[in-house]
Structure 1
Amino acid sequence: MSEEYAGDISPKEAWKILQNSPEAILIDVRTEAEWAWVGQVDLSSLKKEHLLVEWNRFPGGVSNENFVEDVAKLVANKEAELLMLCRSGVRSKYAAIALTAAGFKTAYNIAGGFEGDPNEERHRGQVNGWKVANLPWVQG
């Protein structure tokens, strides 16, 4: 797989794109368990909703072989800016690459993801990511 995609952006850059581009869509590629137990972005202040499409299936972490098709069913406009989000920015990068290869024009990876990289004690949510950037999110 080619490593071509629109590139990495910070959570705050993603927020600005969501604010300024009516067509921009955030796609959370984490698992159902992560959405339920860790939390999700809250785009209600922007009068937007994000999409939930697993890159890997829960339980078991098996690849979602229908990922591109699942996104294509939800996003008709291949010109829309897609902002891909996962826990730390790894799965979302691969998702952005896959969507770009499938013909979506602009698929970004949100670097640092929702929870960010682990700190020296291996705890997430303290170094970088959506939550550390103090962007809106909800839990439960």
Structure 2
Amino acid sequence: MDKKIMTGFAGDVSVEETWATLKENPEAVLVDVRTDAEWSFVGVPDLRALGKAPVLISWQLYPAMQVNNQFVDMMEQQGILKSAPVYFLCRSGVRSRAAAEKAAAAGYQACYNIAGGFEGDRDGNNHRGRVNGWKAADLPWIQK
């Protein structure tokens, strides 16, 4: 793998580790990379207790699901500093990893993929939100 692309990608972290860092580090940012539909119908992390809000920037654009070529520009427009620790969240941790790697390649210095994502893996009944991820950890969330 090209090391230049991985510069600044700091790896996978748990939802609990993410919450703790967001709580302890005022510069830490959570970027939710899911789609408008997911934010509206599934919910978003509720960071109000931390005096923060998630930054909502889709990695892929619904409904065609093509990669958002303006993703990094949109991060910059939201004022996310390249020196800040940035935690990327999607449904299960796949899109967020791609987004974290892209941000790292663009010069963001500490990009983390939130393993398990918001809803996590499917359980034996093919349902999400019970095995791992933000909801399964019973972290705060709200309907948008």
Instruction: Tell me which interval the TM-score lies in, with the shorter structure as reference length.
Output: over 0.9
User: Which deviations, in whole Å up to 9, do the C-alpha atoms of 1:6-62 show, x marking residues without a partner?
Assistant: 110000000000011000000000000000000000000011111000000011212
Q: Which amino acid aligns with 1:115?
A: E
For normalisation by structure 1, the TM-score amounts to 0.95
- Provide the aligned length of Structure 1 versus Structure 2: 140
Report the 3-state secondary structure (helix = DSSP H, G, I; strand = E; otherwise coil) of the residue aligned with 1:122: coil
Q: Which amino acid aligns with 1:82?
A: V
Alpha-carbon distance between aligned partners in 1 of 2:80 and 2:138, rounded to the nearest angstrom: 31
What does residue 11 of structure 2 align with? 7
* 1:103 equivalenced with 2:107 (yes/no): yes
* 1:83 equivalenced with 2:87 (yes/no): yes
Structure 1 gap ranges (5+): none
Structure 1 vs Structure 2 CA RMSD: 1.3
Q: Which amino acid aligns with 2:125?
A: E
Identical aligned pairs, as a percentage? 49
* 1:125 equivalenced with 2:129 (yes/no): yes
For normalisation by structure 2, the TM-score amounts to 0.93
Report the 3-state secondary structure (helix = DSSP H, G, I; strand = E; otherwise coil) of the residue aligned with 1:107: strand
Report the 3-state secondary structure (helix = DSSP H, G, I; strand = E; otherwise coil) of the residue aligned with 2:121: coil
Q: Which amino acid aligns with 2:52?
A: K
User: Which deviations, in whole Å up to 9, do the C-alpha atoms of 1:75-112 show, x marking residues without a partner?
Assistant: 34210000000000000000000000000000100000
User: Which deviations, in whole Å up to 9, do the C-alpha atoms of 1:105-132 show, x marking residues without a partner?
Assistant: 0010000000001112221111000000
Runs of 4+ residues over 3 Å off in structure 1: none
What does residue 31 of structure 1 align with? 35
Structure 2 gap ranges (5+): none
